[in-house]
Amino acid sequence: MDDNPGDVTRRSVLKGAAAAAVLAGTAVAMPNVAVPSAQAVPRSGRARGRDVAVFGGGMSGLATAHELIERGFRVTVYEPAYLGGKARSHDVPGTARGGRRALPGEHGFRFFPGCYQHVPESMERIPLAGGGNVKDRHLINVETAVVAFDESGYAPTTAPASIMGFVEHAPSIVALDNLRNAFTTGLKFVVDIPPTELAYFVTRELVIATSCTERRLGQWENQSWVQFVKAKGKSPAYQAYLAGALTRALVAAKSHTASARTIGQIGLALATSATGLVGQYDAGLVQGGVDRILNAPTNHAWIDPWVAYLRRRGVSFVMDEGVAAFDVSGGRVTGARLQSGGNVDADWYVSAIPLDRLKPLLTPTLVAADPSLAGIRRLQDDWMVGIQYFLSRPSDLPPGHIAAMGTPWALTGLYQAKPWGVDFATTYGDGQTRDCLSIDISDWEKPGILYGKPARQCTKQQIAREVWAQMGRAMNAGGKRILRSEDIVTWSLDPGITWNPTIANATPLMVNTAGSYRHRPTAHTRIPNFFIAGDHVRTNIDLATMEGANESGRRVANAVLAAADSPARPATVHPLWELPLLDPFKAEDRKRYRAGLPHFLDV
């Protein structure tokens, strides 16, 4: 295939005056600001090879392959387990009956907020049989949300996520029991969290919104979120819900360790996309799009069509093969040894390996060639996996995510039958299942309510009972039994959790702890033919997500293009867009930061 820039189709290209910032990779769309993650990749002119070996077939590996195969490179992906990584779905073994599909299991339900740009754009470039693409046919808006609290006096409330969501689901939203729950919860929330504390919390987010990039990296990056919002001394509800549970529900991060810059910045992006005032975000308060999901199991809707498209374009997939070591000589990678004993010889080597599996590959020889890679060893990961309950009764709730605020294991969930638009009984399992409640478990360290043990110390059966009990206590607090144990047909916990001989997780998630940014690698390294992709790489979204993994794959592709002196058009890398009306405040804060002065709202 010729290296033809016109060969790449895309929904959008670099937009407006922010184009230079996008190419540089700045963290947010701000004028005249350079960011450490934005280092330009020098063109070495030393090699023009086209063979790329990508180790890892998760989100970042597939994104890397996608961008490079469309630009004339020969790409081979080596994957030891499953394509799709932590985003994949799977069949629950032994559950298919009578010509139906197996029950759909997954690592955790999908969530595509309105501030995601790279993943939806990639989806739009994946054609489907019968016409259309993954984004247009399978990415759908979720127009309501259920907020529940694990505390007496609060009641679960269904709220619209957009004006269209209110119109479409008005009967459920204005139903007497929902209005009563909203009134009861609202009153208790106001009583438990004084108005002065609510105002203070909003002010702290405004501090992030009006901080210059230098302050975000130099000051807020080095504080935890709970320090930044100054939870100490505030009311218990402020500490539990605003400082803690809200962070857990939105980004599955621990407020006492997570970087204030990361949490504040992603919170700002979510809020900005919801306004509909930034055209680069495909979301708004009127039409929705603030919260999106897939309308089918992830592999069926996205991963399988993606892999099929990449195969047609020429990507080679070598399954059941992982990398055991990278050989380095003369400051370059000279080959890769596979776990099976084979060797890989390529022009360019890409590590798209999860953080926990990359660390053992950081040999003294590799780190000597690029000493900055040593910082990867200091990065941390945590557990967040899903469990699915297959139910004999369909949910009465309108489709929407569930945030079970304050539950010990930080649970969030989603009923899947309605948003998928599928009759579960005729499609999946043995005909008994009519809905699926998919729940993410985000905290594996706190004791539960049944056994008094954290999830890491529980058996598989104890985890299933504990999660149901915690979610039920929150969801049934309004007097109506929304969750009933007798409705459970069966359940499936992420198979990445094993007990041989002790509990282990094959798919941990990197967490953005305070001060960790300086330890994270860039997509290009000082080794001219070695690149790193993954959600641990510095990206604009700056959160361990499928969006960050996709962005990192694009950054790797651009680094390879530069190193190979390719004339192909670079892959689009989007910034986090922020409201232009904030620019004067950021400019003033930049002056104050450089003068050693605090932010004008930092009181």
Amino acid at 56: G
HSE (CB half, 13 Å, CA atoms) of 603? 6
Mean pLDDT throughout 54-78? 98
> Greater confidence, 453 or 286?
453
What confidence tens digit (pLDDT) does each residue in 244-286 have?
A: 887 877 776 788 999 999 999 999 999 999 998 998 998 888 8
Element (H, E) at 119: helix 118-124
> Greater confidence, 339 or 289?
339
User: Which residues contact residue 564 at a Cβ distance below 8 angstroms, ignoring those fewer than 6 apart?
Assistant: 47, 48, 49, 50, 73, 347, 348
> Greater confidence, 44 or 486?
486
> Does position 26 have pLDDT exceeding 80, yes or no?
no
Find the range with the poorest average confidence among 89-93, 178-182, 231-235, 444-448.
178-182
What confidence tens digit (pLDDT) does each residue in 322-337 have?
A: 999 999 999 999 999 9
What is residue 466's predicted lDDT score, i.e. its pLDDT?
A: 98
Both structure tokens of 155: 């009641």
> Does position 9 have pLDDT exceeding 60, yes or no?
no
**Rounded Cα–Cα distance for residues 291 and 287 (Å):** 11
Find the range with the poorest average confidence among 39-53, 82-96, 143-157, 352-366.
39-53
What is residue 248's predicted lDDT score, i.e. its pLDDT?
A: 77
Q: Is the peptide bond before 36 cis (omega within 30 degrees of 0)?
A: no
What confidence tens digit (pLDDT) does each residue in 391-445 have?
A: 999 999 999 999 999 999 999 999 999 999 999 999 999 999 999 999 999 999 9
CA angle 101, 107, 112 (to 5 degrees): 100
Please, which pLDDT band fits residue 22 given cuts at 50, 70 and 90?
Answer: very low
What confidence tens digit (pLDDT) does each residue in 454-469 have?
A: 999 999 999 999 999 9
What confidence tens digit (pLDDT) does each residue in 176-214 have?
A: 888 888 888 888 888 899 999 999 999 999 999 999 999
**Rounded Cα–Cα distance for residues 80 and 424 (Å):** 32
What are the start-end ranges of the H helices in 157-303?
163-168, 170-173, 176-192, 195-209, 213-218, 225-228, 236-237, 246-251, 260-275, 298
What is residue 187's predicted lDDT score, i.e. its pLDDT?
A: 80
**Rounded Cα–Cα distance for residues 122 and 360 (Å):** 31
User: Which residues contact residue 191 at a Cβ distance below 8 angstroms, ignoring those fewer than 6 apart?
Assistant: none
Which long-range contacts does 329-336 make (Cβ < 8 Å, 24+ apart)? 331/369, 331/526, 331/527, 331/528, 332/369, 332/527, 332/528, 332/529, 332/530, 333/527, 333/529, 333/530, 336/53, 336/55
Task: Say what percent of the chain tops pLDDT 70.
Answer: 92
What is residue 189's predicted lDDT score, i.e. its pLDDT?
A: 82
Mean pLDDT throughout 464-487? 96
Both structure tokens of 390: 């297959």
What is residue 529's predicted lDDT score, i.e. its pLDDT?
A: 97
Give me the domains of the chain, ranges plus CATH numbers. Answer: 5-85+298-378+516-582 (3.50.50.60)
Both structure tokens of 216: 């975000």
**Rounded Cα–Cα distance for residues 50 and 59 (Å):** 22
Both structure tokens of 45: 């002119």
3-class DSSP assignment, residue 423: coil
User: Which residues contact residue 180 at a Cβ distance below 8 angstroms, ignoring those fewer than 6 apart?
Assistant: 155, 478
Read off φ and ψ for residue 112, nearest 5 degrees. Answer: -120, 85
Task: Say what percent of the chain tops pLDDT 90.
Answer: 78
> Does position 13 have pLDDT exceeding 50, yes or no?
no
**Rounded Cα–Cα distance for residues 373 and 367 (Å):** 6
**Rounded Cα–Cα distance for residues 475 and 483 (Å):** 7
Task: Please check whether residue 76 is in contact with residue 62, taking contact to mean a CB–CB distance below 8 angstroms.
Answer: no
Task: Please check whether residue 405 is in contact with residue 473, taking contact to mean a CB–CB distance below 8 angstroms.
Answer: no
Question: What residues are paired with 112 via a beta bridge?
Answer: 292
Mean pLDDT throughout 56-83? 97
Please, which pLDDT band fits residue 27 given cuts at 50, 70 and 90?
Answer: very low
> Does position 68 have pLDDT exceeding 80, yes or no?
yes
User: What mean pLDDT is reported for the chain?
Assistant: 90
